[in-house]
Amino acid sequence: MSLTLNQIRQNCQAARTAFARTRTEHFALGAFNLDNQETLIAVVRAAVAKKAPILVEVSHGEVNAMGLDNVRDMVDNYKYQYGVEIYINLDHSATVQDAIAGIEAGFECIHIDISEAKHEASDEEIIAGTKQVVEAAKLTGALVEAEPHYFAGSSNVHEETIDYEEIKKTFSTPEGAKAFVEATGIDTYAAAIGNLHGAYPVPKTLDLELLKRVRQAIDCNISLHGGSGTPGHYFIEAVKIGVSKVNINSDIRMAYRNTLEKVLAENKTEYAVVKLMPRVIDEVQKVIEAKIDMFNSADKARPQDKLMLK
């Protein structure tokens, strides 16, 4: 269905309220990437089971496969069917134009990442592009997220170990975070404290003391990208410190693919794909429910009647 500008603004205000609640009620919103409808079903069922507010997100690859408007419509269909508190984030939007397209499609959260397309982008380029998106987002009230430099890793399963000496070169600093937030006016700062995209053969290690200093330096929301493959105790502590959003992608994809391969191997004569998907959805749902528990967002969803569009 097509949303009116007033409806989009109501959704964005509800998302802003949800982010504010993460700070007062001490939880983080899980931001789960969608590869397809089956992943969305798993996320929504997990939200229902845990009574949790959630974010779903798509980046360039998913947008190309499904389309911004189709994602908006599909999420809204499940939102009302299941009565869940759910918002959409455009993740790692590499250009100002792409970010504005997400705003106009009615996404409540927009992540502008100038350095995604241009790793060597200057500070001035990143700030200027981010400010353009912040200004454009005033149309709907969408929350804008950004970071001041390229974020390491990729949403895949990596075979190499993590070179923390190299990763530390791009860690956030309290002073840098404060300067970037003040220069851009963003709503959410993507912190780099040892988190990086993708799954690795060793668990990730987060610098929680650094996170505390960053939290003290800025007033806006803080997100953690690259949440897959991170021991749960880091999330529990990060939420206490004041993280509002955690991105999960690779853990979902691994559960999806590994289960699908098993199901295919066990059902070599079945060609009705829809009959092969229940176990896949179930396993992805288990991953998401476990993350919701780590983020302390279970039982934090607002009643649907308070979120209905008018």
Work out the widest C-alpha separation in the chain, in whole angstroms. 60
d(CA 114, CA 100): 13
- Residue with the two structure tokens 């179930």: 282
Please say if 91 is a catalytic residue. Answer: yes
First to last CA, the chain: 14
Nearest to 25 by CA among 297, 264, 258: 297
Nearest to 123 by CA among 191, 180, 182: 180
Q: Which of 35, 69, 73, 91 is catalytic?
A: 91
Instruction: Judge contact between 185 and 131, C-beta under 8 A.
Output: yes
Nearest to 109 by CA among 29, 196, 5: 29
* 3-state SS class at 267: coil
Please identify every residue annotated as catalytic: 91
